[in-house]
Chains A and B, each alone.
Chain A
Amino acid sequence: MLRWIVWRDLMLAWRRRTDMLSTVFFFVIVVSLFPLGIGPETQLLRTIAPGVVWVAALLASMLSLGRLFANDYHDGTLEQLLLTPQPLVLVVLGKTLAHWIVAEVPLVLIAPLVGVQFDLSSQTLWVLFASLLLGTPVLSLIGSVGAALTLGLRGGGVLISILVLPLYIPALIFGSGAVAASIMGMSAAPHLSLLGAFAIVSLLFSPWATAAALRISLE
């Protein structure tokens, strides 16, 4: 069931490749705007790099979260999925996993490349990659709660940012903290461990919250 949902969502995403690409381009463009706004001084850029890349990742995930349930909701598939005998949590988990693969993994892969723009060392680029790899599942998981709550609402796109962004703060702090620690020549491990812990906690709680929110939105 889980595999089937993931496979189906991946196929759908593959047939609309531009959606996926536009999120990646958004991420790259936002990150590239900062040096233009702040100035090309290398030392300064290196200091702001962790925060800039992470905030851009949060914003990029806002763009894709709206689509997490919306298409299935509009063509009625979601209602059918709710009626299946399988637990709804499994459906939610599958769709969240697919969202992570489609919308977040490309960001994780491209992040080291944009990191080069900020003159980060290769060691730090690895930490950036690892922090995003651990942290982006959190974005998909917590974001899915917001996506389910705002399903079919007026102005859902803006509303979801207001609901979800404050809840992302721990991921932002630990994720960019790991990169900043690596830039300063310290070990990134404590930050990464805490980020991993936060990811596990959100994996435990948020699918249930999303399932409950979907039931409420679709009643």
Chain B
Amino acid sequence: MNLYKYASPTMFYPLAGKMIPWFSTAAAILFTTGLFVGFFIAPSDFQQGEAYRIIFIHVPAAWMGMFLYVLMAIYAGIGWAFNARLASMMASSLAITGAMFTAISLVTGAFWGKPTWGTWWVWDARMTSTLILMFLYIGFISLQAAIDDPRKADRAGAVLALVGVINVPIIYFSVNWWNTLHQGATIRILQKPTIRGSMLAALLIMLAACWLYSVAVVLMRLRCIILEREQNAARFAEVGV
């Protein structure tokens, strides 16, 4: 079997269609299990009580937000270097899911911060760098939206994503340093309580669920992008002509 043929958007279109139900079903099952374990099995934290349970959505979302930015830059770079249309389309469809997870992690972080720290927002190093990550996503999405020619948008986005990926560690360290300089004592997000087995299990299940959800949604969006750009070819491939 020649796997390379799936690098063509028209060939990948039906394959993506077949993959989506599997990933979305698995994501739904894991979401349910993860939430059940998180809400009913994991014990409540002795310091934060029940409020800590938002961790089960907050932490996976934050991880996915960071991970998807790097993945997006890799796909955009591949699409640019090898002139692979599918990889560039993948980058565009990853951007929105990544931005969504980053936004979720910011919002849930605020909800968590209010009962535990007594404030919606602190200029903590991690929160600040997540906010900046959100800005980088917004830049990528709005640059692509401003360019009419899709191939040109792909390549311009790739340059921006790669510059961003080089800059992310620098931003991260500078923000870290800035915070410690200005505030003396930083608030730790978690006092690293020796995390209980069921808490960890719920966290990992939720992470897997978010990951599978991302795959399913990104593939759905990818199918839309393929349809938009290569309408006729994609439809033919679906019927198997």
Contacts and interface: CB of A to CB of B under 8 A. Distances in A.
Interface string B194-206: 0000000000000
Contacts of A219: 152
A173 B160 contact: no
A205 B162 CA distance: 11
B120 interface: no
Contacts of A149: 143, 156, 159-160
Contacts of B177: 173
Interface residues of A, number: 30
A169 interface: yes
B170 A206 contact: no
Main secondary structure of the interface of A (DSSP, over half): helix
A149 B80 CA distance: 15
A149 B136 CA distance: 15
B157 to A, nearest CB: 9
A198 B170 CA distance: 8
Contact of B139 (A163, A173, A212): A163
Nearest to A145: B163
A216 B159 contact: yes
B27 interface: no
Nearest to B138: A162
B54 interface: no
A184 B138 CA distance: 36
Given A154-B146, A162-B138, A163-B143, A209 B171 contact: no
B239 interface: no
A150 B132 CA distance: 20
A201 interface: yes
B174 A216 contact: no
Interface in B133-180: 135-136, 138-139, 142-143, 146-147, 152, 155-156, 159-160, 162-164, 166-167, 170-171, 174-175, 177-178
B241 interface: no
A166 interface: yes
Contacts of A153: 146-147
Nearest to A166: B135
B155 A216 contact: yes
A209 B139 contact: no
Contact of B175 (A165, A169, A217): A169
B1 interface: no
Nearest to A217: B156
Contacts of A217: 152, 156
B143 A170 contact: no
Interface in A137-170: 142, 145, 149-150, 153-156, 159, 162-163, 165-167, 169-170
A170 B159 contact: no
A162 B178 contact: no
B156 A213 contact: yes
A177 interface: yes
Contacts of A156: 146
A145 B162 CA distance: 11
A162 B142 contact: yes
A174 interface: yes
7 contacts: A145-B163, A149-B159, A159-B142, A163-B142, A198-B170, A216-B152, A216-B159
Given A145-B163, A156-B146, A216-B152, 14 more contacts: A149-B143, A149-B156, A154-B146, A166-B136, A166-B171, A167-B164, A169-B175, A170-B170, A173-B174, A174-B174, A177-B181, A205-B163, A212-B159, A217-B156
